[in-house]
């Protein structure tokens, strides 16, 4: 059984990232997949930096992907 864990946040003072729509698309794609029963999909929204040093960081994983969206601040 493979676990897919998505941690996401939409930081304050930034434009909306449409996380809900992206997560829905991932779930729908997984439901259509031939080997869908081999995966467990878990999502956690509004995560904070402490999340990465807490219990989640102690769980072993085979691979991970990090995706970040940032906006440039003028000043």
Nearest to 42, CA basis, from 65, 55, 26, 29: 26
Note the pLDDT of residue 67.
64
Query: Would you kindly state where each structural domain of the chain is located, as residue ranges?
Result: 2-58
pLDDT at residue 69 in the model: 62
Longest dimension (CA), the chain: 50
Alpha carbons 25 and 38: distance in angstroms, whole number: 18
CB-count exposure of residue 8 (10 Å: 0-12, 13-18, 19+): middle
pTM over 0.75: no
Topology at the third CATH level for domain 2-58: Macrophage Migration Inhibitory Factor (3.30.429)
Q: pLDDT tens for residues 26-74? A: 889 989 989 989 888 888 888 877 776 766 666 676 766 666 665 555 5
Predicted pLDDT of residue 32: 92
């Amino acid at each position: 059984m493979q676990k897919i864990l998505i941690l996401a946040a939409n930081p304050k003072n930034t434009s909306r990232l449409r996380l809900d729509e992206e997560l829905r698309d991932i779930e729908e794609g997984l439901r259509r997949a031939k080997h869908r029963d081999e995966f467990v999909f878990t999502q956690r929204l509004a995560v904070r930096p402490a999340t990465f040093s807490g219990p989640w960081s102690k769980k072993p994983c085979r691979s991970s992907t990090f995706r970040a969206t940032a906006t440039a601040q003028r000043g």
